[in-house]
Amino acid sequence: MHNVGVDFYPEHWPRERWETYAKQMREAGFSIVRVAEFAWAFMEPEEGRFDFSLFDDALAVLHRHGLKAILGTPTAIPPVWMKLKYPEIMQQEPSGRRTQWGVRKHQCFTSGAYRLLSERVTTAMAEHFRATPNVVGWQTDNEFGTNSCVCGSCQADFRQWARAKHGTLDVLNDAWGTRFWGHLYRSWEEISFPDGHASHNPGHLLDWQRWTSDVQVRFQADQIRILKRTCPSHFVTHNLMGLFQDVNYWELAKDLDFVSWDNYPGSWEQPCVTWHSSLAADLMRGLKRKNFWIMEQTAGPAGWGEFGRNVRPGELGKIAWHQVAHGADATIWFRWRTCTVGREQYWHGLLGHDGEPRRRYREAKDYAAAIKRVETAIEGTTTPARVALVWDYDSLWAVRCQKSFPQADYTANALRWYSAFRALGHDVDVVRSGADLTGYAVVIAPMLHVLPDAVARQLDAFVRAGGCLVADARTGVKDEHDRCHERCLPGLLAPAFGIRIEEYESIVANATYAVAGEAMAGTTWTAQHYADWIIPDGAEVLARYQPWHVRDYAAATRHHHEAGWAWYLGTVPKEDSVHAAIAADVANKAGLTARVVPPAGVEVSTRSGQGRELVFLINHGEEPAEVAVTAGKTELLSGTTTGQTLHLDRFGVAILRW
């Protein structure tokens, strides 16, 4: 079943309204509601005294109307009494000041008091609600994110973490390269935090970034242990934030039954293909190689101080279907009714401030009815991609701390490759660096800056076994400790790409280098930001720089092995057409054929399984689109049979049974 529902805050509304709301939710075809994730102050009004009556009553009302519930552990905002009693639970800023209480997510993840009290409230909630009939699962905390506390307890925790990881100071000194500038550590106590993203030692910074993520994973694990022990029949998930950068989601997802995520696309841009939301969805599905839930989805204009644009007529459903096409198995809108008080007054829900069910409510209702009609067909299906894109937090963090060229942007770069393959109609899986690549015909490894030898050998073997590998600028510069490899670039992958990069440079200021295609016959394009001076060493030159000083060097190459192929792009093309051309070449050599090649503005995505093959077509644009398709396929939403072309209205969706 595909659950549809809303995030609901009973504590924001008079009890008399609950009944009406539950009835309206049910009338809209909703089946599930998330509650309680910010309600610690209601559930533990003073230390050790628990009072769950508000939620008992709210859950009973929801239950009477056939609504299931997900409970959030409330640890993203402790009650104010805790801060007064245990001031050390608040994060310490670099200035030494404790963060003021009053927003949320401003507590220290290593504070003993906070960790203990978090475990206690989680235990109390789990014990209290384990038998509540409509409770089906849990969300841990809310959007684990940035951990910027610099308090003494965090520093001590980091030292312990570093000790557990490196074992001896000799190993740590070697890993961090502390011989540079005489940073040698001779006792563990001497180690402190690097100064955020300033000019500190890269190895130290990378380990610190890993630690900031690990303490949140550990904090979550403490809750999961309690929830699993106390409520073995409930699922445990967390609401992740898609392409958010500060947590290693591969690690955070490990302990969850499935991943959920919060999808707020398009509020600040005109309607267009929201590739970032597509890539995020594929990452979310990739984390456990399993479908995911949408725990929060745009329901209206969104913002805290300023808000973005409203969802246009028909867009609400499109946003939801888009995620289903990428593997969402539940759709939960944030939020039910727009709150009249507090910081999120302008973060609009399905209902406005007046609480009346109007257009956005009706569109959510239409979506729920539509998905009901196809949920049996969708059940048990997931995206079966032959193209894998490597998503590596180590590389992302290392590039963020030390960009190499000023415009280096890990995510933007990955998106260029991703959208090029998707635009050709190919599904893409997102995989972890070093993950098993069996079954993939193509591996794209954008800016794989941190390249441990084992991963390089694996990618090399992938090519030699017949795979198609695509990589680009700054590949293989660093080892797992963020030390530069003592090799000519791209290091151990040089034979796979058939190239050598002895020199490289940033393309400064607004300068650009003209590039002329060779194998990409007749095309000229523009290199910007960065140039690898590529010397072909067996590879075929696809394009060459034109300025006199780099005339001898390739900007893009392709290397054919007995079985496999490897492409290398050593610069950032100004024109999207370069990624598009390479992606088309790669797909061609890999023998991939798309079922549907979508026109601009339309996205294709597949879900298959249980002997069913479903091709989703999503029109992200405001203009109707005509899509060339195979005739004779059933379109599930309308029950019609396709001709040679399929008409999609603005924001239109079609699901073809293949």
Active site residues: 143, 296
- At position 88, the amino acid (one-letter code) is E
Binding test (CB under 5 A) with Zn ion, winner from 149, 256, 385, 656: 149
Binding test (CB under 6 A) with ligand GLA, winner from 8, 30, 347, 405: 347
Q: Report how far residue 8's alpha carbon sits from residue 199's, in angstroms, rounded to the nearest whole number.
A: 44
**Which string of x and - marks every residue 252-291 that binds ligand GLA (by CB under 6 A)?**
----------x-----------------------------
Binding test (CB under 6 A) with ligand GLA, winner from 142, 209, 216, 278: 142
**Least Å from the CB of residue 462 to Zn ion:** 42
Positive or negative torsion for Cα 185, 188, 192, 197: positive
Which is closer to Zn ion, CB of 151 or CB of 441?
151
Given a contact cutoff of 8 angstroms between Cβ atoms, the answer to whether 515 and 533 are in contact is no
Q: Which helix (H) or strand (E) holds 469?
A: strand 468-472
**Least Å from the CB of residue 91 to Zn ion:** 6
Which is closer to ligand GLA, CB of 139 or CB of 528?
139
The CA-CA-CA angle for residues 302, 307, 310, to 5°, reads 65
Instruction: State the number of binding residues for ligand GLA (CB under 6 A).
Output: 8
- At position 492, the amino acid (one-letter code) is L
**Which string of x and - marks every residue 397-416 that binds Zn ion (by CB under 5 A)?**
--------------------
Which of ligand GLA, Zn ion, none does 401 bind, CB closer than 5 to 8 A by kind? none
- At position 497, the amino acid (one-letter code) is F
Which is closer to ligand GLA, CB of 253 or CB of 539?
253
Instruction: Assess 154 for contact with Zn ion (CB under 5 A).
Output: yes
Instruction: Assess 143 for contact with ligand GLA (CB under 6 A).
Output: yes
Binding test (CB under 6 A) with ligand GLA, winner from 157, 296, 429, 479: 296
Which of Zn ion, ligand GLA, none does 540 bind, CB closer than 5 to 8 A by kind? none
- At position 201, the amino acid (one-letter code) is N
The CA-CA-CA angle for residues 196, 409, 265, to 5°, reads 100
Residue nearest to ligand GLA (CB): 262
- Residue 332 burial (CB count, 10 A): 27
Residue keyed to tokens 């507090």: 342
Residue keyed to tokens 């409330």: 74
Instruction: Assess 246 for contact with ligand GLA (CB under 6 A).
Output: no
**Least Å from the CB of residue 289 to ligand GLA:** 25
Which of ligand GLA, Zn ion, none does 316 bind, CB closer than 5 to 8 A by kind? none
Which is closer to ligand GLA, CB of 347 or CB of 440?
347
Q: Report how far residue 306's alpha carbon sits from residue 336's, in angstroms, rounded to the nearest whole number.
A: 20
Q: What is the separation of C-alpha 401 from the centre of its chain, rounded to a whole number of angstroms?
A: 20
Which is closer to Zn ion, CB of 119 or CB of 344?
119
Q: List beta partners, residue 525.
A: 515
Mapped to the 3 state alphabet, what secondary structure does 496-536 carry? HHCEEEEEEEECCCCCCEEEEECCCCCCEEEEEEEEEEEEE
Instruction: Assess 344 for contact with ligand GLA (CB under 6 A).
Output: yes
**Least Å from the CB of residue 302 to ligand GLA:** 7
Among 126, 113, 111, 109, which residue's Cα sits nearest to residue 226? Answer: 126
Which is closer to ligand GLA, CB of 166 or CB of 322?
322
Which is closer to Zn ion, CB of 114 or CB of 533?
114
- Edge-first strand listing for the sheet containing 612-619: 602-609, 612-619, 653-657, 634-635, 640-641
Tokens of 193: 């935090």
Name residues contacting ligand GLA, limited to 319-338 (CB under 6 A). 334
**Which string of x and - marks every residue 576-615 that binds Zn ion (by CB under 5 A)?**
----------------------------------------
Q: What is the DSSP letter of 638?
A: T
Instruction: Assess 25 for contact with Zn ion (CB under 5 A).
Output: no
Q: Report how far residue 224's alpha carbon sits from residue 24's, in angstroms, rounded to the nearest whole number.
A: 33
Which of ligand GLA, Zn ion, none does 344 bind, CB closer than 5 to 8 A by kind? ligand GLA
Per CB under 5 A, the segment of 152-160, 212-220, 224-232, 303-311 that binds Zn ion is 152-160
Given a contact cutoff of 8 angstroms between Cβ atoms, the answer to whether 32 and 4 are in contact is yes
Instruction: Assess 215 for contact with Zn ion (CB under 5 A).
Output: no
C-alpha dihedral, 103 to 105 to 111 to 114, nearest 10°:
80
Q: Report how far residue 394's alpha carbon sits from residue 400's, in angstroms, rounded to the nearest whole number.
A: 10
Range 14-20 contact pairs with CB under 8 angstroms and sequence separation of 24 or more: 15/57, 17/355, 18/57, 18/58, 18/61, 18/62, 19/61
Instruction: Assess 140 for contact with ligand GLA (CB under 6 A).
Output: no
Binding site for ligand GLA (CB under 6 A): 142-143, 239, 262, 296, 334, 344, 347
* Residues forming the site for Zn ion (CB under 5 A): 108, 149, 151, 153-154
